Amino acid sequence: MTRRDARAFWLFVGPFLLGLAVFAYLPIGWSAYLSFFDARNTVTPTEFVGLGNYGHMLTDEPFLSSLGTFSVFAVFIVPLTFVLSLALALGVNQLRFARAFFRSVFFLPFACSYVVASLIWKTSLFSGVRYGLANTVLSVFGVDPVAWTGTVHPPLYWVVLVTARLWLQLGFYMILFIAALQRIPVQLYEAAWLDGAKPGWPVFRHITLPQLRATAVAVLLLNLINAYQAFDEFYNIMGDARGYPPFARPPLVYLYYTSLGSGGQDLGRGSAGAVILALLIALVTVLQGRVLRFGRAA
Amino acid sequence: MQRNRRSFLALAGMGALATACGSNTGRQGDPPPSTAYSAGPPPSDAPKAALQQWYHAYGEEGVQDAVKRYASSYPGAAVTVQWNPGDYDSKIVTALQNSKVPDVFEAQVKIDWVRQKQVLPLDDVIGPVKGDFSPAVLAAQTVEGRVYGIPQATDTQVLFYRKSLLQAAGVQPPQTVDELVDAAAKLTKDGVKGLFAGNDGGVGVLTGPLLWSAGLDYLKNGNREVGFDDPRAATALGKLHTLNANGSLLLGAPADWSDPGAFIDGLTAMQWTGLWNVPKIRQAFDEDFGVLPFPKLDGSGAPSVPVGAYGAMVNAKSAHVTEAKAFVKWLWIDQTQDQLEFATKFGFHVPSRQSLIGRADNLKSGPAADAARFVQENGHLVGGPVWTQPSNTALSDAVAKIAKEGADPAAQVKTAVEVARSELKRLFG
């Protein structure tokens, strides 16, 4: 690399590296540091508590139950997103007309703010009053208004949370699948056709799906990580100015209230929780990658 | 999320105050003058210190202009007002950690701020006029006997009810919690729910009133003991499950408890909401509504209303603490007319200086007068400076599980008591 090349490299890459260091690596490092201190209402603590904050978080019922909440959410959202985005991709990819239009239509929600979408879901589609859209539809069938976000038995709030996220992210994963579908050589299908295979489940099962394996694994990994990091729609749909209910409280929401809650910032325990969560995500991601043989040839 | 003047109740506790003292005009009826703090505005030829004052974003029109006007008319310093939309309470605690800004801000003090030496005591500012403030409002700004904020205006919440709907259903305004539960059930018909107390089923706003209804509190004995370690707490909080389970609560309304929309739109016959909604509700129903405190649990309990107040506070790390304290004294002790305007012109709030309540014309009759009386007779502080976030989360979780999931009230209360006790041990040993 010439000196000129090096200068150009640092000119373009430098600002991003600097931003990454200042806004990502430094906070992560500082957070790890804080996790070993009693850091209530301070980012420059002096009282070293060793693994005390970790011990507290690992026995803290609300934190552990928030991990359970995530698990329920992941059980719903990961397979649903996978299957529906793949189905959408297959459908849109087979269109002969207006393919670009439908591709755009389904992708567009991905550009929408999670906060805006959450508020629409909460106040318009699934509001608990008689003129909410869902309740208006139900009223046609003589069903009384349903308190979607306030009903715990059965847990109808999951309908609101899951549909909001599906609407927001299906389009993105659909695009990934469409790109993968378009990379499958047509000759494979032609050969199968010559061998007597008819379009349908056998071709999908033995040609399309194996060819999508790399993308499918990536989608599963991204989905799981995104589920762990769920915050915006939960916070805006389930929370209010007074706080947040213990049910449907994912880890990031709990850690937000622990670390940044008004009046009581416990940055030590919040940081310990964040480190635990990061390690958990890394562990699960590695395990999932190994089980699904991520990165290996089909 | 932009918050209005009442929603600070929703976040921290409650609030209030407003008015004044000072100005030492000698007119009859004026509050007593302050002589507590001698640092006055510097001579006019001296260079002025630059102060920054923070407010959260009040929703009522005109408040921002008013507080800017107050600041610009202060002769002792160049005061810049910063209006803060969004999560103000989190922003302020973050700013206090290592920043010299803001110099002056509104908040409700927390004991951890005092322990971290983030805010200055203002006993010398409030001085001999301290007795003019409502005790509950002053308690919101007091930690271990020292005052850290000058209350700016008092707010409260009451039970609004439609007289005509209660009459049609043959229901009397409820005087006990059981009567409230019965009334809510009887009023639930024809698409109208009996009671709206927030989309969380009353967990956020009714926890305090339910404890007070049984004669209990968050903390007791000078904030050194848990105040709800009592079987009556489970009994009272269990009533919230009855309300949630029998279908008489409105849930999932587009706007939450602090907004009068559900009540005005006829979605509910009763609503627990703030005094600030009186003008809108009167416009909708004229005289067809009344207000009540939260009822007593039984003969051993008492009716109640929550009170709360943001107070003007001084950042201990400010580069101009003397000037900041002088400004706070000038605005929130001496400028009584401004304080009265701040409390009453832009909405319905109760001046927390008791000597000023009589000067608030819009609080002299009707439901507003009733509510102002409830504040004086039945006012309680929600939580308070020693009620920490972990304690609050534990109690809130417990009440949510009781109300929404039908969990055993005694077991849930016990869990919350243990957390609160642990926090008190951390704070006081």
Which structural domains are found in chain B, ordered by start? 50-152+309-334 (3.40.190.10), 157-307+386-428 (3.40.190.10)
**Residue pairs between chains A and B whose CB atoms are closer than 8 Å:** 134
Residue B412 has which token pair?
């849930």
- State whether A262 and B396 contact (CB < 8 Å): no
- CA atoms of B109 and A159, how far apart (whole Å): 40
CB A166 within 8 A of CB A80: yes
Subunit contact B204:A240, Cβ cutoff 8 A: yes
Residues of A in contact with B115 (CB under 8 A): 41
- Residues of chain A with Cβ-Cβ distance to B94 below 8 Å are 260, 265
Distance CA B382, CA B217 (A): 9
Asked whether the beta carbons of residue B388 and residue A264 sit closer than 8 angstroms, the reply is yes
Q: Give A143's contacts (C-beta < 8 A, 6+ positions apart).
A: A135
Chain B: closest CA distance from residue A78 (Å): 27
- Alpha-carbon span B143 to B132, nearest angstrom: 18
Q: Strand locations in B62-186, DSSP E?
A: 77-84, 104-107, 142-143, 146-147, 150-151, 155-161
CA–CA dist B219, B382 (Å, integer):
10
DSSP string, A193-246: HHTTPPTTHHHIIIIIHHHTHHHHHHHHHHHHHHHHT--HHHHHHH-BTTB--S
**Minimal CA separation from A42 to chain B, in Å:** 6
Token pair 């809650």 is at which residue? A261
- B396 part of contact set with chain A, CB < 8 Å: yes
Q: Are A127 and B253 in contact (CB under 8 A)?
A: yes
Q: What pLDDT, on the 0 to 100 scale, is given for residue A297?
A: 54
Low-confidence ranges of chain A (pLDDT < 70): 241, 262-263, 294-298
Find out whether B302 and B215 touch, Cβ atoms under 8 Å: yes
Q: Is the Cβ pair B198, A147 closer than 8 Å?
A: no
Residue B205 is encoded by which pair of tokens?
């706003």
Provide CB contacts within 8 A for A188, sequence distance 6+.
A207, A211
- Range A60-290 has CATH code 1.10.3720.10: yes
Q: Which of A40, A146, A243 sits opposite B396 (nearest CB)?
A: A243
Give the distance, in angstroms, between the CA of residue A221 and the centroid of all CA atoms in the same chain.
10
Q: Is the dihedral of CA B55, B61, B63, B66 positive or negative?
A: positive
| CA geometry: angle B267, B272, B276, nearest 5 deg | 100
Which ranges of chain B have pLDDT less than 70? 1-46
User: Rounded to the nearest 5°, which phi and psi values hold at A270?
Assistant: -60, -40
Dist CA B279 CA B5 (whole Å): 15
Q: Rounded to the nearest 5 degrees, what angle is found at the Cα of B416, between the Cα atoms of B410 and B418?
A: 100
Q: Sort out which chain A residues have CB atoms less than 8 A from B116's CB and list them.
A: 40-42
**Domain coordinates in residue numbering, chain A:** 60-290
Q: Supply B66's token pair.
A: 């008013």
* Cβ separation A260–B94 shorter than 8 A: yes
Which of A44, A129, A152 has the CB atom closest to B253's CB atom?
A129
B92, B80, B84: which is closest to B53 by C-alpha? B80
Site of tokens 């408890």: B257
In this complex, which of A129, A147, A151 lies closest to B254 when CB atoms are compared?
Answer: A129
- 3 state SS of B176: strand
Q: Half-sphere exposure (CA, 13 Å, Cβ side) for A278?
A: 11
Residue B296 identity: K
Angle at B178 between CA B175 and CA B180, to 5 degrees: 60
What predicted TM-score, i.e. pTM, was given to this entire model?
Answer: 0.84
Q: CA nearest A258: which of A276, A233, A237, A282? A: A276
Q: Is B388 on the interface with A (CB under 8 A)?
A: yes
Judge whether A267 and A34 are in contact, CB under 8 Å. yes
- A-facing residues of B in 166-205 (CB < 8 A) are 191, 198-201, 203-205
CA A23 vs CA A13, A34, A288, B364: distances in Å: 15, 16, 28, 55
Burial class (CB in 10 A: 0-12, 13-18, 19+), A267: buried
Spatial contact of B305 and B383, defined as CB atoms under 8 Å apart: no
